[in-house]
Amino acid sequence: MTYLIIAVVLLYLIGTITWVMPSRRDKKLAGMRSRARDLGFQLQYKNEELNRELNRGHGAVAYMRYLRLRPTPLDDAEALRLIRLPEVDSPVTGWRIDSLYEEMMVPALNEILSQLPKDVFAVMIGPGAVFIDWQERAEVEAVDRLHELMGELLKVPLMTNRQ
C-alpha cells in the first residue's frame, strides 16, 4: 500500500511539472517575440471577436499585433487599412481595402502583401506606424522578413486630408 501511495504522489508531481513546462510551440513563439522586440517592434496580444468576414464562425480569436513605428510621423495622412479576404474582388489581390487609396499604390501593395505570411489577416499603414495582425504560424526567420516588408509598407505614400 505504501508503494501505491508513493507511485500516485510521484505521478501527480511529474504531471504537474510537465503541465507547467512550456511546449515546443511556446518556446518558438517566445523566440519569435524576442526577435521582434530586438528589431524594434511593439507587440500587442489580442483576443477578440473579428468582424464577420474574418470570423468564419470561430468566435473570439487570439492573435498578435506587430507594430513598427515611423521614424517621423506624417502630418494630415489618412490610414490605409487592408483585410485579407481571398474571395473579394479588389485591385490588391486577395485584400479588401477599407480606406481611400490611389491607383499608384496598388502595384507596390500587391508586391509587398503577396510576400506576407499566410496567417497575416490585417494590415494598417498609418501616419505614425504600420501594423499587422497575425497568428504567428511561421518560424523565427519570418520575423526578419516581416521587418523588411513592414519597412517597405512604411514607404507606401498615403492619402492626405488635403487631397
For 1-42, write each residue's pLDDT tens digit: 888 888 888 888 888 887 778 888 888 888 999 999 999 999
Q: pTM for the full model?
A: 0.79
Residue 18 contacts by C-beta under 8 Å, 6 or more apart in sequence?
A: none
Which ranges constitute the DSSP H helices of the chain?
Answer: 2-20, 24-38, 52-55, 106-113, 141-154
Cα–Cα dist 80/101, whole Å = 7
> pLDDT at position 66, please?
95
Contact between residue 130 and residue 46 where contact means Cβ atoms under 8 Å apart: no
For range 81-93, the mean pLDDT? 82
For 105-121, write each residue's pLDDT tens digit: 888 888 998 899 988 98
Question: Structural domain boundaries of the chain?
Answer: 24-154
More confident residue, 149 or 52: 149
For 134-152, write each residue's pLDDT tens digit: 888 888 889 999 999 999 9
